[in-house]
Amino acid sequence: MLLLKAKISNNTASIDHIILKSVSNPSSVHGIYPYRGKISAKDAISVIAQLSPNRTLLDPFCGTGTILYEAQKFGMDVIGVDPNPLANIVSKGKMSLQGLDKEKTLDEVESIIKKAKSLKKVKKLPVDAEKGFHSDTADQIMRVKEFYNEMSDYLKSIFCGSICISARGCNNYIWTSTTVGRNTYPKRFINFYEKFTSKAKKHFYKLENKNKCTIYSRDARTLSKFIKPNSVDYVFTSPPYFDGLDYTAYYAKFVYPILEIDRISVKKNLIQSLKTYETDMQKCLNEIVKITKNGALIIFVVGDKKIKNQTISGGDFFSELLHHKPNQIIERQYSGSASQVFDKINKTNRKEQIVVWDKSTW
């Protein structure tokens, strides 16, 4: 359950309190890839439904595009920004569903697998990834990888997600859906062809809306260099966790080497350093102010951070990053979620906040 409680509320545009019995939504397009720390689709929808369609919404930390997909589905033009190439692959895959045909896509999957099986020679799985897989599963992954550049954006994202679920299976499903544990032996054979096919079927939720979508593989600290000033109506985002969550870790450690992406180079360009986090977020917010309209709403979903024995409220932290104080902070607490497991281990009682700035009051 998700409980929302108002902490600050002024006579301005505001987000209503929402109570959700569950934030889980596994049978959706958002199950393509187990991206760590992503916002729940139901959570995103509860906010988006309170905004006006036919507007432009920016998610400057779009990750795998949960907010973008739901906002476009609602009738908005959307702009996403994220420097992580893996996040870009998945978000573009989701948004490409606007113009795809399901039958043709599944025919493409069948054709790729047929060609993959017929290959006489195939590259070996990279050393950095091979410890996660049964040797026969690894062989199938690399056979399909030979046709990666021919795939539609949707199937590229499905390929990445299939790697993750196969790694979990090869390790006897001891790992969670988002967290990688210790390697288990002997490895279990998982048929990658079957996983690739089933995920392509399972997550195909076509976007009927024709609104515009632009995804930039850029940095939110430089938004005004590629987005016009005074052009965005809403900013709605869940920024990088300010406890230093590594967005290149977990299942991504297998995906990057398979895609021949230098994980360390990616990591260096992401906002996940505790030392510079406050400065980086100030830069991002200042850029957001430049490219948003005078009456824009800026909505950040943030969480608490634990330092030693002290818990810092994300809402309080972000309230100090702009000269203008938020017009509203809604505090919420989950029950019946995975977060509670970690809270029990760490002896914390973390909460999250929705922080809202209304530029019409500035």
Query: Quick one: pLDDT at residue 305?
Result: 77
Smallest CA-to-CA distance from 267 within 250, 284, 285, 287 is with: 250
Task: Please choose, from the candidates 133, 144, 270, the residue with its C-alpha nearest in 3D space to the C-alpha of residue 188.
Answer: 133
Amino acid at 42: K
pLDDT score recorded for residue 38: 85
> Residue 94 CA to chain centroid, in angstroms?
11
21-27: average pLDDT = 51
Sort 203 into a burial class: Cβ within 10 Å, 0-12 / 13-18 / 19+: buried
Do residues 279 and 321 lie in contact, with contact meaning Cβ atoms separated by under 8 Å? no
Q: Tell me the backbone φ, ψ of residue 314, rounded to 5 degrees.
A: -60, -35
Rounded CA gap, 171 and 144, in Å? 21
The pLDDT tens digits for 170-205 are 999 999 988 999 999 999 999 999 999 999 999 999
The mean per-residue pLDDT over the stretch 212-241 comes to 97
Q: Tell me the whole-structure pTM to 2 decimals.
A: 0.90
Tell me: pLDDT of 274 over 60: yes
Contacts of 99 (CB under 8 A, 6+ apart): none
Q: Which residue has the higher pLDDT, 18 or 149?
A: 149
Give the pLDDT mean for 223-234. 98
CB 271 within 8 A of CB 277: yes
Predicted confidence (pLDDT) at residue 34 exceeds the cutoff of 70? yes
Inter-residue contact 157 to 99 (CB < 8 Å): no
Q: Give the 3-state secondary structure of residue 192.
A: helix
Q: What is the pLDDT of residue 17?
A: 53
Alpha helices in the chain (DSSP H): 41-48, 66-74, 85-95, 102-118, 127-130, 135-145, 153-170, 192-202, 252-259, 263-268, 277-291, 314-319, 338-346
State CA 21 to chain mean position distance.
22
Residue 337: per-residue pLDDT: 47
pLDDT digits (tens, 9 = 90+) for 62-110: 999 999 999 999 999 999 999 999 999 999 999 999 989 999 999 999 9
pLDDT beyond 80 at 277: yes
As a whole-number percent, the residues of the chain with pLDDT over 70 amount to: 87
Per-residue pLDDT at 145:
98
Predicted pLDDT of residue 346: 43
Which two tokens mark 50? 């309170």
Categorize the per-residue pLDDT at 343 as very low, low, confident or very high, splitting at 50, 70 and 90. very low
Euclidean distance between CA atoms 283 and 154, whole angstroms: 33
Are 305 and 242 spatial neighbours (Cβ–Cβ below 8 Å)? yes
